[in-house]
Amino acid sequence: MEIKKIEGKETSLGPISNTFIIISNGKFCVVDPSHSLVQIREVLGDFLLPNQDRTTGNELILDKVIVTHCHFDHVEKIQDFIESDIPIVLSRKCYQNLQSSSINYSCMLNDKPLEIIIPKNLAEFPQDNKIILCDEIWEVIDTPGHTNCSISIYKDQNLFVGDVMFAGNSFGRYDLPTGDRRELVNTLEKLENLPSSTMVHPGHGEDFKLAEWRK
């Protein structure tokens, strides 16, 4: 498995989250679609959409998108993926939350609140806390607290957490809509039980080893 990162940044309209690209078995998945297909091509070179035939045999195929939670800064470019018919993995609560501009917090950009409706045929909900990404089984961990819909995904000591925890012993806000401090504490305790050599890939800022993080 190879992991690439497109750094998020602060803009005048608010933050943009990190986007991660997980590459395996000739396919790739995108964690948090805050960057466009064009921006992903700048990092990966040419790739194919699921309905396109391989020509050279070497191109990667875009398999799925994963949304860690409903906040707008993590899904800014999701329409790009919807229009390309890419399956979108998310929690059932996230599916609902995305439809509300107050809960997805895009209402803070009063010039362009987003109400995101994912077509039913593209939404993929984890079953038994498992999901298949690039033909491999990943564990899905419910990690509420920052929002009630937050999920983290884990495989081979790689953990993608969205806004649950950050480098420098920091953690996500719990004062936004659907946030809950007690739930966030429980979530952080749960994640701390993973192997200490786990690499954590957060929605903002630097990646870090779980061993370096102490709340």
- The residue ranges that bind Zn ion (CB under 5 A) are 17, 71, 73, 163, 203
User: 60 or 103, CB closer to Zn ion?
Assistant: 103
Residue 178 exposed, middle or buried by CB count within 10 Å (0-12, 13-18, 19+): buried
Nearest distance from C-beta of residue 8 to Zn ion, angstroms: 8
The residue among 92, 100, 159 whose CA lies nearest residue 126 is 92
User: 63 or 163, CB closer to Zn ion?
Assistant: 163
The residue among 212, 211, 204 whose CA lies nearest residue 31 is 204
Nearest distance from C-beta of residue 108 to Zn ion, angstroms: 12
Please check whether residue 172 is in contact with residue 165, taking contact to mean a CB–CB distance below 8 angstroms.
yes
Nearest distance from C-beta of residue 84 to Zn ion, angstroms: 23
Rounded to whole angstroms, how far apart are CA atoms 143 and 150? 5
Cα–Cα distances in angstroms (integers) from residue 23 to residues 54, 98, 127, in the given order: 17, 27, 22
Nearest distance from C-beta of residue 18 to Zn ion, angstroms: 9
